[in-house]
Structure 1
Amino acid sequence: MFMSFIIGAKKPHHAHRFFAKTTDTKAHYHTIEGYTRSVNGNSFDRHIHMYRGVTSFENKHYHRFYGKTGPAIPLADGSHYHEFEMRTYYNYDEPLEVKFGGVKYGDPNRPKHDHWFKGKTLDIVGEDPYF
């Protein structure tokens, strides 16, 4: 029986862990961590992942972030990783006193700042072993 094997034919769904430290701005930095959105892909098809989250809580505030990774970069062992680079969304330099929680925006004259981050995804998680 002849079985053909096509490189790149198998594209299991999976996600990656990620972790990065932001730039130091206004005398503080944040960390970002989480999991990318799951997609079907392999090491050779140049797929990307979306990611989003909230930074660590530092200096009495946090920042939201959203982005997409670069294409899959193959490794010698057959796995892959992705690079990512983005900025956080702005937040006020001095936190607002919000009585019931939540986020309040809208004062264009209030000083704001953001942070940049970049890194590489970590291990693959959530891959279907029966694919």
Structure 2
Amino acid sequence: MEIPISGLVYCSDDSDGHHSHKLYITSWDGRPVHVHAFSGVTSFDVGHSHEYAGVTAPAPSGVPHVHEYQTETTFNDGHTHFIRGRTGDAIPLPGGGHYHFFEGYTTVNGRQPHAHAYQGRTGNESM
């Protein structure tokens, strides 16, 4: 099964010499897509916590859906962690739009290997 997708690729040459590409999907199967910002603070474990922020992967608008997400935490106590998961279903907002709950555990890292719990809700949808 083929699903038509449209979008654009942004190519950058950063000042630090790294070359990167970002894919921005603008429609999925003929439907516009949207994303959500998310951020928060992990649980406090082994004497510290971490902050995180990111934007979910795109998902089609107007249909039941979830979003995948991933990001890296702030550098605290000599290390970072990675966060990766899938949101819950869309929850309508009274004035229009919707948000999603998310939760999970970071990857294990640190001098004393450990993980942190995290949870939150995304912001409202944005294109």
TM-score (ref. length: structure 1): 0.70
- Is residue 116 from structure 1 mapped to residue 117 from structure 2 by the alignment? yes
Q: Which runs of 5+ in 2 are unaligned?
A: 1-29
Structure 1 Cα separation of the partners of residues 113 and 91 of structure 2: 36
One-letter identity of the residue aligned with 1:71 = D
Structure 2 Cα separation of the partners of residues 46 and 85 of structure 1: 19
Q: What's the counterpart of residue 70 of structure 2?
A: 52
State which of 80, 90, 95 in structure 2 corresponds to 1:77. Answer: 95
State which of 46, 49, 71 in structure 2 corresponds to 1:29. Answer: 49
Cα offsets for 1:26-71 (capped at 9, x unmatched)? 01000111000011123xx331000001101111100011100000
Q: What's the counterpart of residue 67 of structure 1?
A: 85
One-letter identity of the residue aligned with 1:119 = G
Q: Which has the larger radius of gyration?
A: 1
One-letter identity of the residue aligned with 1:22 = T
Q: Is the 8 A contact 1:46 1:73 kept in 2?
A: no
State which of 62, 80, 91 in structure 1 corresponds to 2:109. Answer: 91
Q: What's the counterpart of residue 41 of structure 1?
A: 61
Structure 2 Cα separation of the partners of residues 22 and 11 of structure 1: 34
Structure 2 Cα separation of the partners of residues 56 and 123 of structure 1: 24
SS of 1:91's equivalent?
coil
- The structure whose RCO (Cα within 8 Å, separation 6+) is larger is 1
Q: How much has 1:120 moved relative to structure 2?
A: 0.4
Over aligned residues, Cα RMSD in angstroms? 1.5
Q: How much has 1:11 moved relative to structure 2?
A: 5.1
State the 4+ residue runs in structure 1 displaced beyond 4 angstroms: none
TM-score (ref. length: structure 2): 0.72
